[in-house]
Amino acid sequence: MRSNHIFYLIVFSLSVTFLSCRQSEYDRLVKTELERNVRFDSLFLGLKFNMSSKEFYAACWEMNKKGLIMQGPGNLSVQWQLDSTQMRSLTYMWFYPEFKNDSIYKMPVEFQYIYWSPVYQPLSVDTLLVDVKNLFERWYGGSFIYAESDDGSQKVWVKVDGNRRIRLYKKNISTVRAEFLDLLNNK
């Protein structure tokens, strides 16, 4: 009888060990970064996680008055034009945050070369993805890892600093999407 308990304990221990070894590089990165207990709330243009909607709109209003940003397509986003000192070619950057309890916790961003054309390969979405990744590495430091998306449907570039996760991926034939997520406010 006792030998059965020992056998089951060994099988359970081996199973736990095996499953922990299968943890992905991304899962290990998230665990390590969250254990640091360091907050990285900075996004871009002075915007940050935990801004209220009122603070977000006031900040955008001021940037709009200075001509830095404008309304995006259909007035559904904010548009910022990145120039050729930041990207390979003039690029639109559109963004609009998601709020939880009137606090920014997620910031979806889309990028598209202004002169994109399906037949002009130098400005393809693959080139844009590399451009955006390089831009973000300059802005946020460090490097991104290549991992599977949350649903396993595609590969994405991911960077995690403390609570801030940044994912980059091709949205469609002309657009790259970036998603900033506050991992501590995502529950």
Q: pLDDT tens digits, the chain, 187 residues: what are they?
A: 555 556 555 545 545 444 444 567 888 988 988 888 899 999 999 999 999 999 999 999 999 999 999 999 888 899 999 998 999 999 999 999 999 999 999 999 999 999 999 998 899 999 999 999 999 999 999 889 988 767 777 789 999 999 999 999 999 999 999 999 999 987 6
Alpha carbon 44 to its chain's center:
12
DSSP 8-state code for residue 185 = G
* pLDDT of res. 141: 92
Pairing of strands 164-170, 91-95: unpaired
Parse the chain into domains and list their residue ranges: 2-185
* pLDDT of res. 23: 66
Buried b (16+ CB within 10 A) or exposed e, 21-56: eeeeebeebbeebeeeeeebeebbeebbbbbeeeeb
Residue 177 CA to residue 113 CA, distance in Å, equals 13
Residue 71 CA to residue 24 CA, distance in Å, equals 40
Residue 5 CA to residue 28 CA, distance in Å, equals 32
* pLDDT of res. 88: 93
* pLDDT of res. 159: 95
Q: Which two tokens stand for residue 34?
A: 């969250």
* pLDDT of res. 21: 47
pTM of the model: 0.83
